[in-house]
């Protein structure tokens, strides 16, 4: 029963995009509403399910997850009133990210342009965090108090069910959201066998989507991210050959995603032998060629050669000084940065050093730190 706001919006959109006749759409809509509502209920699920099919069960079943482990709940009426009223005051045109920013009283260009920093709901929600508000919006959508207007670019609208809550005629008890960590750790990495790069690409996409107030798939869909993980394009040009990345998106997002890919080179297992191609690059370097010349001679891109060389460094086939020319102070700075952010990928270190050190050099230094001895 773990799902996110994006899942709800995607399901709603799939259902609306389906191209079925209106009658069929309404039926699908009702089924989806029932399913999402079932996710959120805090009482016996079996009772609710039987009720949905026109049957009944007098006592809670005692066997479903809610009966066996009653969910943690909280009194959400006031928070729901704030959320619903914020939707109303911003005229039911905005997505969740924007609404949460208004509730938290964030001042940004968009909010001041619409004058929403002078609303009564601006900044009234500081008692919850952004992710808690997002979870609440998800629950309000799933429980049918809010709907997502797909034709209106995903703006959140009030439904008729919202009125009694806003008027204080109905109280609302909701299940406490499960810890976000549970979802992210269970997320794509473990379930789909993707790794660190996959998560990093998703994070980058999320940042862009949040900044623009659009769903993540509007930036790139999962298939495109999966292809990025598989192909690991090393240049903008190569990035542009990935399906789902047209000229416009390449221009808007290309460099950012490329930086993420370049920041996550393959990380060979410590015991893996250095590949023969890497050894060949190392041998040419030993003959006095620069990495760029090695790349040219072998018809490879420079990044691939640097990857070879860092593999060779990690496998103690090359010394760091044979590959990069760094003065001791700079080298010490880079090492300190890696030690400050252990296991966090190159981008963090790249940024910590204010972009002064190129990624290939960082790869090599990291490889030398991982090398034995």
Q: State the minimum distance, in angstroms, from the CB of residue 359 to Zn ion.
A: 54
**Residue with Cβ nearer Zn ion (44 or 361):** 44
Q: State the minimum distance, in angstroms, from the CB of residue 55 to Zn ion.
A: 14
**Residue with Cβ nearer Zn ion (46 or 106):** 46
Alpha carbon 193 to chain centroid distance?
A: 16
**Residue with Cβ nearer Zn ion (57 or 223):** 57
Report the residue number whose CB is nearest to Zn ion: 44
Q: State the minimum distance, in angstroms, from the CB of residue 49 to Zn ion.
A: 9
Contact between 197 and 261 (Cβ < 8 Å): yes
**Residue with Cβ nearer Zn ion (60 or 105):** 60
Q: State the minimum distance, in angstroms, from the CB of residue 42 to Zn ion.
A: 11
**Residue with Cβ nearer Zn ion (71 or 240):** 71
Q: State the minimum distance, in angstroms, from the CB of residue 67 to Zn ion.
A: 3
**Maximum CA pair distance of the chain?**
84
**Residue with Cβ nearer Zn ion (46 or 153):** 46
Nearest CA-CA partner of 4 in 218, 187, 221, 195? 187
Q: Which stretches of the chain bind Zn ion, using CB under 5 A?
A: 44, 46, 60-61, 64, 67
Q: State the minimum distance, in angstroms, from the CB of residue 161 to Zn ion.
A: 24
Exposure string of 74-113, with b = 16+ CB inside 10 Å and e = fewer, is: eebeebbbbbbbbbeebeeebbbbbbbbbbbeeeeeebee
């Amino acid at each position: 029963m773990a799902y996110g706001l994006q899942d709800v919006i995607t399901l709603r959109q799939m259902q609306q995009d389906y191209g079925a006749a209106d009658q069929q759409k309404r039926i699908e809509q009702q089924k989806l509403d029932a399913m999402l509502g079932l996710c959120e209920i805090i009482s016996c699920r079996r009772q609710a399910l039987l009720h949905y099919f026109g049957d009944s069960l007098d006592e809670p079943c005692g066997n479903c997850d809610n009966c066996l482990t009653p969910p943690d709940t909280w009194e959400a009426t006031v928070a729901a009133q704030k959320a619903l009223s914020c939707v109303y005051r911003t005229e039911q045109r905005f997505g969740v990210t924007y609404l949460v920013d208004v509730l938290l009283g964030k001042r940004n260009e968009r909010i001041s342009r619409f004058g929403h920093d002078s609303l009564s709901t601006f900044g009234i929600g500081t008692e919850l965090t952004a992710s808690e508000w997002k979870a609440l919006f998800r629950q309000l959508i799933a429980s049918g108090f809010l709907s997502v207007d797909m034709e209106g670019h995903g703006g959140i609208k009030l439904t008729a069910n919202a009125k009694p809550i806003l008027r204080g005629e109905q109280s609302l008890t909701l299940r406490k959201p499960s810890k976000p960590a549970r979802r992210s750790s269970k997320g794509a990495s473990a379930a789909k066998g993707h790794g660190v790069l996959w998560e990093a690409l998703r994070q980058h996409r999320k940042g862009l989507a949040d900044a623009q107030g659009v769903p993540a798939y509007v930036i790139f869909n999962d298939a495109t991210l999966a292809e990025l993980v598989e192909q690991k394009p090393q240049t903008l040009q190569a990035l542009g050959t990935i399906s789902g990345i047209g000229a416009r998106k390449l221009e808007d997002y290309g460099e950012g995603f490329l930086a993420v890919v370049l920041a996550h080179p393959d990380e060979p297992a410590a015991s893996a032998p250095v590949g023969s191609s890497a050894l060949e690059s190392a041998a040419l370097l030993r003959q006095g060629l620069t990495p760029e010349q090695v790349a040219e001679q072998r018809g490879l891109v420079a990044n691939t050669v640097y990857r070879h060389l860092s593999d060779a460094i990690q496998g103690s086939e090359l010394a760091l000084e044979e590959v990069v020319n760094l003065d001791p102070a700079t080298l010490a700075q880079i090492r300190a940065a890696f030690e400050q952010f252990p296991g966090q990928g190159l981008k963090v270190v790249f940024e910590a050093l204010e972009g002064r050190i190129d990624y290939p050099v960082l790869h090599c230094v990291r490889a030398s730190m991982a090398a034995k001895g």
